[in-house]
């Protein structure tokens, strides 16, 4: 019998995800080796602190503090970049690719910032880059877009991509507790970081949306080119009002493309989602993504979007694809070349102007409770050609104030921005208005 090929794997980073990969790869190695027809060797692991106690036991001889040594090690076939951030992670990735290696990464921030550079480096050197774990954890959305739905064009992709925000909004809806109290508990449970801003202000979701936009349309949209808004101003009153109107509130990434004009836009914001939609009922730390393809129609993907096991599952899935590529040359590796249809290549695609980004809107204001205020507000909206669909007024703090909630008919982002700016200037408006989008998605 011929001796099986040994595939050597290097792990850069042994944090939560890295330990999960080590744990599950060790536990399931025999089954994976039988399936792949190779021997898998976890060859070296880089860590920041050699003395730190961890939940997994790694032989001391395999540990190093030099991640670049793993990237440059000629014996290592596959490098798992699980460091995080965009500094050392970028150096490790580019070094490994320059040597023609396969890199597997879960790093959405790295891809969002340096994706074009990474894929160019892979093409130049003959290396390969896999990144299933960078978006939606255990949901195989990247594989679905690049393989299973390859025959489709995507007019609309929208989804819940951050488990922390979904956990907070779910508990607000189910328990009636305020945002600040639930955020504090989420931190204690480990669902939110000590600095929660990356999650609750929408930036984590924006990084993931950038990757999905590239996969669907072949163009990198930077976060500064998106609308990015978080959930930190959503109140229990908004949750309650939305429910009365037949909606739940979710933080969504929304990626749209108009194939008549070849315009693409990416936005991240709290959204009123009709209760009849599947994503309105995706709760807790789960993620959900709806993809509208022109051939298959709408498909929806739901699962755990974060955490050690879900992310490790996606990383190991990429490792299996990487081994298949090494042994048979048959795996799909996005970014290997620039062939393909114009739909995915990004040729001719441009960013949509704010005039062409449309929605219905929910606006909440605290105003003086006095005659003529509603007329002032209606005058502002009329001048900006924003049509009011409904008005709800309730008592508010301080005394002699009212909470005024407007919903609009369809308008566009430029008009609504101008409207909000002018409303904020009214002396009768006591604080910055809150804007939410209404997600009546036509799939």
Spans in the chain with pLDDT lower than 50:
335-343
pTM: 0.88
Residue 90 has what pLDDT?
96
CATH 3.30.360.10 matches 141-304? yes
Domain boundaries, the chain: 5-137+309-337, 141-304, 357-438
Q: Is 208 a catalytic residue?
A: yes
pLDDT attached to residue 341: 38
Give pLDDT, residue 139: 85
Tens digit of pLDDT for each residue in 301-353? 999 877 788 888 889 999 999 999 999 886 555 544 433 333 455 778 899 99
Q: Give 99-153 pLDDT, tens digit per residue.
A: 999 999 989 999 999 999 999 999 999 999 999 888 887 788 988 888 888 889 9
**pLDDT of amino acid 302:** 95
Q: What is the architecture of the domain spanning 357-438? A: 2-Layer Sandwich (3.30)
pLDDT score at 386 = 97
Burial of 227 (0-12, 13-18, 19+ CB in 10 A): middle
Q: What pLDDT sits at residue 304?
A: 85
Beta carbons of 267 and 417 less than 8 angstroms apart: no
The 3-state secondary structure of the chain reads CCCCEEEEEEEECCCHHHHHHHHHHHHCHHHHHHHHCEEEEEEEEECCCCCCCCCCCCCHHHEECCHHHHHHCCCCCEEEECCCCCCHHHHHHHHHHHCCCEEEECCHHHHHHHHHHHHHHHHHHCCEEECHHHCCCCCCHHHHHHHHCCCCCEEEEEEECCHHHHHHHHHHHHHCCCHHHHHHHHHHHCCCCCCCHHHHCCHHHHHHHHHHHHHHHCCCCCHHHCEECCCCCCCHHHHHHHHHCCEEEEEEEEEEEECCCCEEEEEEEEEEEECCCHHHHCCCCEEEEEEEECCCEEEEEEEECCCHHHHHHHHHHHHHHHHHHHHHCCCCCCCCCCCCCHHHHCCCCEECCHHHCEEEEEEEEEEECCCCHHHHHHHHHHHCCCCEEEEEEEEECCCCEEEEEEEECCEEHHHHHHHHHHHHHCCCECCCCEEEEECCCCC
Fold observed for domain 5-137+309-337: Rossmann fold (3.40.50)
Of the residues 108, 208, 250, 277, only one is catalytic, namely 208
The reported pLDDT for the residue numbered 339 is 33
Given this model, what pLDDT does residue 136 score? 81
pLDDT value, residue 202: 96
């Amino acid at each position: 019998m011929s001796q099986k090929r040994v595939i050597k794997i290097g792990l850069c980073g042994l944090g939560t995800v890295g330990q999960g990969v080590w744990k599950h790869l060790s536990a399931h190695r025999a089954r994976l080796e039988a399936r792949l027809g190779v021997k898998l060797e976890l060859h070296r692991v880089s860590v920041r602190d050699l003395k730190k106690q961890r939940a997994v036991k790694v032989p001391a001889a395999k540990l190093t503090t030099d991640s670049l040594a793993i990237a440059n090690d000629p014996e290592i076939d596959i490098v798992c970049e699980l460091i995080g951030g965009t500094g050392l992670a970028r150096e490790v990735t580019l070094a490994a690719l320059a040597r023609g290696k396969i890199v597997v990464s879960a790093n959405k921030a790295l891809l969002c910032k340096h994706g074009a550079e990474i894929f160019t480096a892979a093409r130049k050197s003959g290396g390969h880059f896999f990144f299933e774990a960078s978006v939606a954890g255990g949901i195989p959305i990247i594989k679905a877009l690049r393989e299973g739905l390859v025959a489709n064009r995507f007019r609309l992709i929208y989804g819940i991509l951050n488990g922390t925000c979904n956990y907070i909004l779910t508990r607000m809806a189910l328990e009636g507790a305020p945002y600040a109290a639930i955020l504090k508990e989420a931190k204690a449970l480990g669902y939110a970081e000590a600095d929660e801003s990356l999650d609750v202000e929408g930036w984590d979701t924006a990084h993931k949306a950038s990757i999905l936009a590239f996969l669907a349309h072949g163009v990198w949209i930077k976060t500064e080119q998106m609308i990015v808004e978080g959930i930190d101003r959503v109140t229990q009153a908004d949750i309650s009002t939305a429910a009365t109107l037949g909606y739940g509130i979710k933080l969504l990434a929304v990626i749209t493309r108009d194939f008549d004009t070849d315009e693409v836009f990416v936005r991240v914001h709290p959204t009123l989602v009709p209760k009849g939609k599947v994503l309105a009922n995706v709760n807790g730390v789960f993620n959900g993504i709806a993809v509208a393809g022109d051939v298959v129609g709408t498909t929806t993907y739901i699962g755990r979007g974060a955490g050690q096991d879900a992310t490790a599952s996606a990383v190991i899935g990429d490792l299996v694809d990487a081994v298949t590529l090494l042994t048979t040359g048959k795996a799909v590796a996005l970014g290997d070349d620039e062939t393909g249809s114009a739909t995915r290549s990004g040729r001719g695609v441009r960013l949509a102007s704010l005039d062409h980004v449309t929605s219905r809107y929910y606006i909440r204001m605290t105003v003086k409770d006095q005659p003529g205020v509603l007329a002032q507000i209606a005058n502002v909206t009329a001048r900006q050609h924003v049509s009011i669909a409904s008005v709800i007024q309730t008592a508010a703090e301080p005394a002699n104030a009212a909470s005024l909630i407007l919903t609009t008919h369809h308008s566009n982002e430029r008009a609504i921005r101008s409207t909000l700016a002018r409303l904020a200037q009214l002396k009768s408006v006591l604080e910055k208005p809150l804007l939410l989008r209404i997600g009546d998605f036509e799939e």
